[in-house]
């Protein structure tokens, strides 16, 4: 067990700290939930890239900083920004999911065209995967693209498309080979949200905001080269992206920050004579959550060490999405309980606390338990891939069995 | 930066694991559990041959001078095998107590004997955590009076280290006059616990350090109990997954039923981060003193909750078979139950964690 990053990293850490100290006044407020980044957030992002604190390992020719990958440096940056409670670089589906996918599987031209404006916040992406009939069973998607005059012509509907209303571009899964097997006939297309034939209808969610949308496609024409990977390989390309999404949803620093905010809240809120934290039941729950956050923090360090050694993340990694999203939700739940009757206030009510952030989080984090592969799907993955338990009999097998029985 | 076990620690783990697989199969555990004194000389001897007894004894006293993380690696394997051997008190707490608070004579007398396996010391500090049934020990003029419940590694102990109500430690021989030692029967038949009644029993005090050593013993003990549960839980998860991959109902392996699969996935998802938490807590005991007590509390209380869930869920996956004596799954279930209660149940430990952070108003 050696928790020292080494002297060369101490120097690096000092640099990061000095940068944060000198520039934090330029940072946008961390509560910025807008899909289209504010000009302040865009300027901050550009400054971070320039100094290598965002897009650090992305090659310069694509608009990144171009440092050699060094997991510990990346880790130090994340730690120091979290510690200073200063927002790090932009995080959205374009940056966290699309860019890594393009780096892995895009053509040279695509990388040059899209990565830089995405990193700099000039182009916002949405993810067009889920459909009314294809959620957990994503490969069941029906939105089709046939070829006409050298173009893809897309018809169909996506749903739960986060930020579609604000997005400039979409990365979208469509069925290009209707006769191929379920997973084999899908392609990964990228196109502008201004393309004629796209209609976006905001879907108000339980939070009261419209974080996602329905997206309809009627004869949407997309040039043939706007495909990532080959025709029919979209499932493979999409799975590369989903891996990045699950990484994004399990950030130990984010949990630690939520916990610190909860501790502060419980020390400030007064319930009757005492503070919320003086109530032994609430305090017991707080300490229990603190232990769980600690466990996830050290689990994260273990994953980090595994990757430094070039070993796969294994079970430690497989469980992160499930455990972190649940834990984040529990932290918000306790915050609301600690507020007691004040916990009902929302929608900019007088006496509302923290701008309703805890209520919003409590609800939105339930969305994150569902989105990006539901908790149940995560458990299937943990059981089947992690524990190598017998797979579910496939519907096809069951149909065959049924035929045999008839 | 390397968060994990060193090469040496991995070798230690593998060696202890092999040793226990050979010396302590379930048939032997069962044999021991059915005796009055469950502790197994055979398994103890096998572990001593590996040097386990001297792990925490400093080198100048004939031991190996190892760390609590090394001891936690062993504890995990003991839990995994539900090994009926003394360990927590006699090979972890007693050497730490003597090392940190013993005088030169006490160290020179006892530590080499602990390291060689010649002597075993039981430890009773429960009353510094919670007083029940009017227990508690007072000391005056080198004599002890009162009762200490839950002396750990009780049977076969040559001496006991006992905390008095002022959190000062005392050492006395098992045969000291004025000491009555009464075995208690616990649900976990792989451990040995007893009650010590003192009636003017003569004892030697360890250093008067304002309770510092007792606090260290609580931390170390909690980490070792957490590690024991980690191993026991690992075994219970493996057994559930194996069973679900063999047992058929409705023409299918039960492991292909999603309800069963999800029970196993939930166990694994809760279990996995505990490993890192226990490792860190053990590491902190020696290397990060300002965090050691808090993270020991976290490790103890969190594993108590997780492994209670694992213990019942693994049993459920086994159906009626899980409930039988024959299968022996209950040895793990009970071991986890013991680990949960001893040195503070999760609520008591969390209250302590809150106090450590200044979250509790002085009453
Ligand atoms: C906040 C939020 C943001 C989202 N953003 C996007 C986005 O930007 N782009 C996008 O494409 N999608 C997005 N989604 C969609 C998300 O990926 C899907 O909601 C998710 O995959 C679940 O699909 P579903 O809603 O159709 O539920 P269903 O798949 O119908 O699931 C309903 C219930 O059945 C369970 N279930 C289904 N199949 C199984 C199975 N095999 N085993 C066990 N249980 C099963 C599920 O766990 C769930 O409890 C978002 C969702 C949310 C909540």
Nearest chain B alpha carbon to A298: B276
pLDDT of amino acid B362: 52
- B285 and B162 in one domain? no
C-alpha of residue A376 to centroid of ligand 1, in Å? 10
**CA-CA distances (angstroms) from residue B300 to A288, B277, B347?**
11, 10, 10
Structure tokens at B362: 């002085």
A316 vs B280: CB contact, 8 Å cut-off? no
pLDDT digit string, tens, across residues B291-323: 999 999 999 999 999 999 999 999 999 999 999
Nearest CA in chain A to B257: A392
Contacts A–B by Cβ distance under 8 A = 164
For the question of residue A245 being annotated catalytic, the response is yes
Mean pLDDT in residue range B86-101: 98
| pLDDT tens-digit series, residues A173-183 | 999 999 999 99
Which ligand 1 atom minimizes the distance to the CA of A163?
8
Q: How far is the CA of A95 from the centre of ligand 1 (A)?
A: 22
With respect to residue B153, please indicate whether it lies within any of the assigned structural domains: yes
- By mean pLDDT, which of A303-317, B182-196, B213-227 is the weakest? A303-317
Are residues B216 and B263 both part of a single domain? yes
Contact B361 A6 (CB under 8 A): no
Q: Is residue B362 part of a domain?
A: no
- Please, are residues A111 and A102 in contact by the beta-carbon 8 Å criterion? yes
pLDDT at position B64, please?
97
Residue among A130, A159, A209, A241 to mutate when testing ligand 1 (max atoms within 8 A of CB): A130
Q: Residue A275 belongs to what H/E stretch?
A: strand A274-275
Catalytic residue among A131, A211, A245, A256: A245
Residue to probe by mutation, ligand 1, list A35, A91, A136, most atoms within 8 Å of CB: A136
Do B53 and B100 reside in the same domain of the chain? yes
Q: Best interface-test mutation with B: which of A262, A389, A393 has the largest number of B CBs within 10 A?
A: A389
Question: Strand ranges (DSSP E) for A37-105?
Answer: none
Q: Which two tokens stand for residue B351?
A: 């209250």
Read off the pLDDT of each residue in A322-334 and give the average, rounded to a whole number. Answer: 97
Q: Are A55 and A89 in contact (CB under 8 A)?
A: yes
User: A183 by DSSP, 3-state: which?
Assistant: coil
Domain end call among B66, B88, B116: B116
| Domain-located, residue B24 | yes
A377 Cα: distance to centroid of ligand 1 (angstroms): 9
Q: What sign for the dihedral angle of Cα A119, A123, A127, A128?
A: negative
DSSP B182-205: EEE--S-TTS-EEEEEEEEEE-EE
**Chain A interface, best mutation among B5, B226, B227, B269, by max A CB count within 10 A:** B269
Whether pLDDT at B60 is above 70: yes
Choose from A284, A387, A394, A401 for mutation: most chain B CBs within 10 A: A387
Contacts of A292 in chain B (CB under 8 A): 273, 302
Least Cα separation, residue A108 to chain B (angstroms): 36
Q: What is the pLDDT of residue A9?
A: 94
Same domain for B296 and B334: yes
Q: Are B180 and B216 members of one domain?
A: no
Q: How much is the average pLDDT of B204-218?
A: 97
**Which of B249, B258, B273, B301 should we substitute to test contact with A (largest number of A Cβ atoms within 10 Å)?**
B273
Q: What is the pLDDT of residue A40?
A: 92
B358 to chain A, closest Cα gap in Å: 10
For residues A142 and A178, give the distance between their C-alpha atoms in angstroms, rounded to a whole number: 9
- Same domain, yes or no: B188 and B84: no
Query: Maximum Cα–Cα distance for chain A, whole Å?
Result: 76
pLDDT surpasses 60 at A405: no
Quick check: B295 and A2 CB within 8 A?
no
Query: Residue A401: pLDDT band by 50, 70, 90 thresholds?
Result: low
Is residue A242 predicted with pLDDT exceeding 90? Answer: no
Q: What is the mean pLDDT of residues B126-134?
A: 93
| Shared-domain flag, residues B248 and B347 | yes
Return d(Cα A393, Cα B258) in angstroms, integer.
Answer: 10
Domains belonging to chain A, first-starting first, are 7-91 (no CATH), 125-234 (2.40.110.10), 250-386 (1.20.140.10)
In a domain, B107, yes or no: yes
Q: Which whole number is the average pLDDT over A12-36? A: 88
Question: Which CATH number is B242's domain given?
Answer: 1.20.140.10
Residue A69 is predicted with a pLDDT of 87
Give ∠ CA B228-B232-B234 in degrees, rounded to 5. Answer: 115
What is the per-residue pLDDT across B132-162, written as a single tens digit (0 to 9) for each?
A: 999 999 999 999 999 999 999 999 999 999 9
Query: Between these two residues, B99 and A72, which has the higher pLDDT value?
Result: B99
Residue of B nearest to A384 (CA): B261
CA distance A159 to A167: 15
Instruction: Using CB atoms, pick whichever of B2, B283, B353 lies closest to residue A287.
Output: B353
Does residue B83 form part of some domain?
A: yes
Whether residue A361 is predicted with pLDDT greater than 50 in this model: the reply is yes
Ligand 1 cavity residues, CB under 6 Å: A 126-130, 135-136, 160-162, 211-212, 367, 370-372, 374, 376-377, 380; B 258
Query: What whole-number distance in Å separates Cα of residue B22 and Cα of residue A301?
Result: 34
The 3-state DSSP class for residue B31 equals helix
pLDDT of residue B87: 98
Cα Rg, chain A, nearest whole Å: 23
Q: How far apart are CA B15 and CA B9, in angstroms?
A: 10
Distance from CA of B57 to the nearest CA of A (A): 21
What backbone torsions phi and psi does residue A308 show, to the nearest 5 degrees?
A: -60, -35
3-state secondary structure (DSSP) of residue A193: coil
Same domain, B261 and B352: yes
Is residue B318 included in any domain, yes or no?
yes
Q: Residues of chain B with pLDDT > 90: what percent?
A: 98
The token pair at A143 is 């939105």
Compare all CA atoms of chain B with the CA of A391 and give the residue at the minimum distance: B256
Is A299–B272 a contact, with Cβ atoms under 8 angstroms apart? Answer: yes
State ipTM.
0.96
Q: Which chain B residue has its CA at the smallest distance from A6's CA? A: B1
Q: Which of B156, B173, B205 is the last residue of a domain?
A: B205
Contacts of B290 in chain A (CB under 8 A): none
Give percent of chain A with pLDDT exceeding 90: 79
Nearest to A115 by CA among A102, A124, A105: A102
Task: Please tell me the predicted confidence (pLDDT) of residue A404.
Answer: 55
Nearest alpha carbon, ligand 1 atom 44? A376
Give the lowest-confidence range in A180-184, A248-252, B182-186, B242-246: A248-252
Average confidence (pLDDT) over B103-109:
98
**CA of A53 to nearest chain B CA: how many angstroms apart?**
21
Last residue of a domain, one of B205, B228, B260: B205
Query: How far away, in angstroms, is A366 Cα from ligand 1 center?
Result: 12
Q: Of the candidates B253, B255, B301, which has its C-beta nearest A291's C-beta? A: B301
B2 in a structural domain:
no
Asked if residue B341 and residue B284 are part of one domain, the reply reads: yes
Q: Indicate whether B173 belongs to any domain.
A: yes
Query: What's the pLDDT score for residue A290?
Result: 98
Asked if B164 and B227 sit in the same domain, the reply is: no
* Burial classification of residue B361, based on how many CB atoms lie within 10 Å of its CB (0-12 exposed, 13-18 middle, 19 or more buried): exposed
Q: What is the mean pLDDT of chain A?
A: 92
* Parent domain of B106: 7-116
Q: Where are the alpha helices (DSSP H) in chain B?
A: 7-23, 26-33, 41-49, 68-80, 94-101, 104-116, 212-244, 258-287, 289-317, 319-323, 329-341, 346-356
Nearest to A16 by CA among A76, A87, A57: A76
pLDDT at A307: 85
Res. B270: pLDDT tops 50: yes
Separation in Å, CA of A353 to nearest CA in chain B: 22
Which protein residue's CA is at the shortest distance from atom 24 of ligand 1? A135
* Number of domains present in the structure of chain B: 3
User: Chain A: nearest CA to B3, how far in angstroms?
Assistant: 5
SS3 assignment for B99-155: HHHCCHHHHHHHHHHHHHCCCCEEEECHHHCCCCCCCEEEEECCEEEEEEEEEECCC
pLDDT of residue A244: 64
* pLDDT tier at B363, thresholds 50, 70, 90: very low
Q: Assess whether pLDDT exceeds 90 at residue A253.
A: no
Q: For a substitution probing ligand 1, which of A139, A213, A370 has the most ligand atoms within 8 Å of its CB?
A: A370
Average pLDDT, chain B: 97
Chain A contact set for B246 (CB, 8 A): none
Residues B246 and B330 in one domain: yes
Considering the domain architecture, whether residues B25 and B105 belong to the same structural domain is answered as yes
Q: What pLDDT, on the 0 to 100 scale, is given for residue B1? A: 86
**Above 80 in pLDDT, residue A258?**
yes
Measure the CA angle with vertex A38, ends A111 and A207; round to 5°: 100
Residue B359 has its nearest CB partner, among A3, A283, A296, at A283
Is B272 strand, coil or helix?
Answer: helix
Burial, B356: exposed, middle or buried (Cβ in 10 Å; 0-12, 13-18, 19+)?
middle
């Amino acid at each position: 067990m050696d928790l020292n990053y080494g002297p060369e990293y101490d120097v690096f850490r000092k640099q990061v700290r000095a940068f944060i100290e000198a520039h934090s006044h330029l940072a946008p407020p961390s509560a910025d939930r807008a899909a289209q980044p504010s000009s302040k957030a865009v300027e901050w992002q550009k400054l971070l890239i320039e100094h290598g604190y965002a897009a650090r390992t992305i090659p310069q020719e694509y608009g990144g900083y171009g440092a050699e990958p060094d997991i510990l440096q990346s880790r130090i940056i994340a730690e120091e920004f979290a510690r200073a409670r200063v927002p790090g670089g932009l995080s959205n589906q374009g940056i966290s999911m699309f860019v890594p996918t393009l780096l892995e599987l895009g053509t040279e031209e695509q990388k040059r065209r899209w990565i830089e404006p995405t990193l700099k916040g000039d182009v916002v992406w949405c993810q067009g995967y889920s459909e009314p009939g294809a959620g957990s069973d994503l490969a069941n998607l029906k939105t089709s693209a046939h070829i006409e005059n050298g173009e893809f012509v897309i018809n169909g509907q996506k749903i739960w498309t986060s930020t579609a209303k604000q997005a400039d571009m979409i990365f979208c899964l469509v069925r290009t080979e209707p006769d191929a097997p379920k997973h084999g006939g899908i392609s990964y297309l990228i196109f502008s949200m201004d393309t004629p034939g796209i209609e976006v209808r905001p879907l108000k969610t339980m939070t009261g905001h419209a974080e996602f949308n329905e997206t309809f496609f009627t004869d949407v024409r997309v040039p043939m080269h706007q495909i990532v990977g080959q025709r029919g390989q979209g499932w493979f390309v999409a799975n590369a992206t989903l891996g990045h999404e699950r990484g994004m949803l399990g950030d130990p620093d984010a949990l630690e920050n939520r916990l610190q905010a909860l501790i502060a809240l419980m020390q400030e809120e007064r319930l009757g004579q005492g503070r919320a934290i003086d109530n032994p039941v609430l305090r017991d729950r707080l300490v229990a959550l603190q232990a769980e956050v600690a466990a996830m923090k050290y689990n994260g360090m273990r994953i980090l060490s595994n990757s430094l050694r070039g070993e796969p993340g294994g079970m430690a990694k497989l469980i992160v999405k499930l455990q972190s999203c649940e834990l984040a939700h529990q932290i918000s739940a306790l915050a609301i309980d600690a507020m007691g009757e004040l916990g009902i206030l929302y929608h900019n009510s007088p006496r509302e606390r923290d701008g309703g952030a805890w209520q919003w989080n409590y609800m939105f984090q339930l969305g994150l338990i569902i989105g990006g592969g539901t908790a149940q799907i995560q458990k299937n993955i943990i059981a089947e891939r992690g524990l190598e338990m017998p797979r579910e009999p496939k519907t096809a097998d069951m149909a065959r069995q049924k035929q045999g029985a008839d | 930066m390397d968060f994990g076990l060193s090469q040496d620690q991995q070798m230690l783990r593998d060696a202890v694991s092999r040793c226990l697989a050979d010396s302590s199969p379930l048939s032997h555990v069962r044999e021991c559990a059915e005796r009055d004194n469950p502790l197994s000389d055979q398994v103890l001897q096998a572990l001593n041959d590996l040097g386990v007894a001297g792990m925490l004894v400093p080198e100048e006293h004939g031991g190996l001078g190892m760390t609590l993380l090394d001891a936690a690696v062993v504890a995990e394997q003991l839990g995994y095998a539900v090994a009926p051997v003394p360990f927590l008190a006699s090979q972890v707490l007693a050497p730490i107590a003597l090392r940190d608070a013993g005088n030169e004579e006490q160290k020179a007398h006892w530590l080499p004997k602990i390291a060689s396996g010649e002597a075993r010391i039981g430890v009773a500090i429960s009353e510094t955590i919670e007083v029940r049934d009017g227990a508690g020990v007072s000391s005056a003029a080198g004599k002890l009076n009162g009762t200490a419940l839950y002396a750990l590694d009780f049977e076969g102990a040559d001496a006991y280290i006992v905390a008095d109500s002022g959190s000062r430690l005392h050492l006395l021989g098992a045969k000291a006059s004025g000491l009555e030692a009464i075995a208690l029967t616990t649900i976990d038949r792989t451990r040995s616990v007893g009650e010590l009644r003192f009636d003017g029993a003569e004892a030697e005090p360890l250093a008067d350090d304002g309770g510092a050593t007792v606090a260290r013993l609580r931390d170390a003990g909690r980490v070792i109990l957490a590690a024991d549960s980690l191993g026991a839980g690992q075994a219970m998860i493996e057994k559930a997954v194996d069973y679900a991959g063999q047992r058929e109902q409705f023409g299918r392996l039960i492991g292909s039923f999603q309800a069963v699969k999800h029970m196993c996935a939930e166990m694994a998802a809760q279990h996995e981060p505990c490993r890192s938490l226990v490792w860190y807590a053990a590491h902190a005991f020696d290397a990060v003193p300002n965090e050691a007590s808090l993270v020991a509390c976290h490790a103890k209380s969190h594993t108590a909750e997780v492994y209670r869930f694992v213990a019942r869920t693994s049993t459920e996956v086994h159906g009626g078979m899980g409930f039988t004596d024959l299968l022996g799954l209950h040895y793990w279930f009970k071991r986890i139950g013991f680990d949960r209660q001893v040195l503070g149940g999760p609520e008591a430990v969390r209250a302590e964690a809150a106090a450590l952070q200044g979250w509790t108003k002085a009453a």
